[in-house]
């Protein structure tokens, strides 16, 4: 009879994998402790599911919208390169993927002060510094001499700011070096040095100004104060000839004898280990009376004579008193 029956079905052929495009993060972006966000564009008419991995597929995390990388998984990752692979499949089982390599950095910069070293002593000139700072994403370096009130940035080893150093008082100076990276991680190291820009303090106790001396060279007594005293000396001729001293004593007799009578300027010098030099001077008089008897000797003779005379008189008095006493 020629009757024909039929039935039909519509099926879909799908051999294309989903297209996965990573908008963010970008390759070599650097992230710290906070897990990065991600933004993808995934195209497929028969999209089924989406997921990503941070460890080559050992652990997978599904998602349905753009969002943030799993924070726990991110925290467990070591610093360094991280490969994120985003996957998508369709109902036919076709799998597409895209990956991006980013960097995790949670470490602070490492700051090591090579010089100056603790307890070094410096004078009026600002010292040089040498530091080693390590960080893959170093951003800025600076130092402070006053606990952070004023900072000085630098890009290479060099010398401390001379004006800042000059403004410091003598004594201990704490120098702190800082460095941060692009995430604001802050590293530091410090060193304590000493500034000594002043010379020793010299006080001449004797001889006093205007004192008169004869043939015998005068004694001297001085007080010298400095935490880093190096050496002391004196001169009777403005520094042409000098005499080193380590303690109070007597002016060199031969040099004194060679001096002409009149005013004599004695200059006492002292320096410290930084080379800071100071001096104080006193003007006395050399005068030898006729006969060449030293005024000091005359005074001694007079004193001895007086004492001797008193002793004789006292002896005579006691003798006479004893004789006058009845037996």
User: Quick check: 203 pLDDT over 70?
Assistant: yes
- What tokens does 92 get? 């036919």
Q: Do residues 94 and 15 touch, judged by C-beta distance below 8 A?
A: yes
What's the whole-number mean pLDDT along residues 273-290?
Answer: 95
Nearest to 234 by CA among 258, 265, 279, 269: 269
Q: Do residues 240 and 268 touch, judged by C-beta distance below 8 A?
A: no
* Strands laid side by side in the 229-235 sheet: 212-213, 277-286, 262-272, 229-235, 242-245
What's the whole-number mean pLDDT along residues 223-251?
Answer: 97
pLDDT at 174 (0 to 100): 98
What's the whole-number mean pLDDT along residues 158-165?
Answer: 98
pLDDT in tens, 285-309: 999 987 655 555 555 555 556 655 5
- At 10, is the pLDDT very low, low, confident or very high (cuts 50, 70, 90)? confident
Asked if domains 19-104 and 204-292 share a fold, the reply is: yes
- Distance from C-alpha of 49 to C-alpha of 267, rounded to nearest angstrom: 96
CATH of region 19-104: 2.60.40.10
The domain limits of the chain are 19-104, 110-195, 204-292
- Please give the mean pLDDT across all residues of the chain: 91
User: Quick check: 314 pLDDT over 90?
Assistant: no
- At 11, is the pLDDT very low, low, confident or very high (cuts 50, 70, 90)? confident
Q: Do residues 131 and 112 touch, judged by C-beta distance below 8 A?
A: yes
CATH of region 110-195: 2.60.40.10
Q: Is 236 exposed, middle or buried (0-12, 13-18, 19+ CB in 10 A)?
A: buried
Q: Within 13 Å, how many C-alpha atoms sit on residue 222's CB side?
A: 27
Confirm or reject CATH 3.20.20.70 for domain 204-292, answering yes or no: no
User: Quick check: 89 pLDDT over 50?
Assistant: yes
Q: What is the pTM of this model?
A: 0.69
For the chain, give percent helix, strand, coil, nearest 5. 15, 45, 40
DSSP state of 326: -
Our separate counts of H helices and E strands in the chain read 4, 24
What's the whole-number mean pLDDT along residues 55-61?
Answer: 97
């Amino acid at each position: 009879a020629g009757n024909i029956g039929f039935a039909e079905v519509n099926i879909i052929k799908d051999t294309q994998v989903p297209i996965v495009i990573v908008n963010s993060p970008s390759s070599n972006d650097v992230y710290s402790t906070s897990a990065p966000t991600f933004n993808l564009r995934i195209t497929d008419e028969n999209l089924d599911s989406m997921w990503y991995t941070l460890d080559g597929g050992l652990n997978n995390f599904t998602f349905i919208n753009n969002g943030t990388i799993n924070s726990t998984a991110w925290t467990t990752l070591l610093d360094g390169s991280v490969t994120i692979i985003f996957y998508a499949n369709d109902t036919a089982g076709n799998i597409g993927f895209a990956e991006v390599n980013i960097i995790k950095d949670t470490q602070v910069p490492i700051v090591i002060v090579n010089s100056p070293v603790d307890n070094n002593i410096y004078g009026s000139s600002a010292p040089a510094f040498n530091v080693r700072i390590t960080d893959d994403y170093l951003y800025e370096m600076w130092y402070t001499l006053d606990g952070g009130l004023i900072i000085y940035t630098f890009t290479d080893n060099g010398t401390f700011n001379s004006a800042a150093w000059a403004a410091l008082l003598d004594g201990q100076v704490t120098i702190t070096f800082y460095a941060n990276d692009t995430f604001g991680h802050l590293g530091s190291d410090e060193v304590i040095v000493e500034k000594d820009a002043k010379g020793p303090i010299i006080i001449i106790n004797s001889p006093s100004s205007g004192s008169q001396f004869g043939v015998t060279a005068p004694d001297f007594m001085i007080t010298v104060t400095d935490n880093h005293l190096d050496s002391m000396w004196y001169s009777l001729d403005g520094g042409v000839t000098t005499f080193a001293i380590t303690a109070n004593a007597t002016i060199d007799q031969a040099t004194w004898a060679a001096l002409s009578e009149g005013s004599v300027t004695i200059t006492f010098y002292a320096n410290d280990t930084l080379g800071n030099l100071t001096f104080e001077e006193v003007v006395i008089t050399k005068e030898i009376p006729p006969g060449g008897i030293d005024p000091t000797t005359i005074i001694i003779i007079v004193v001895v004579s007086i004492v001797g005379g008193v002793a004789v008189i006292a002896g005579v008095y006691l003798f006479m008193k004893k004789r006058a006493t009845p037996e």
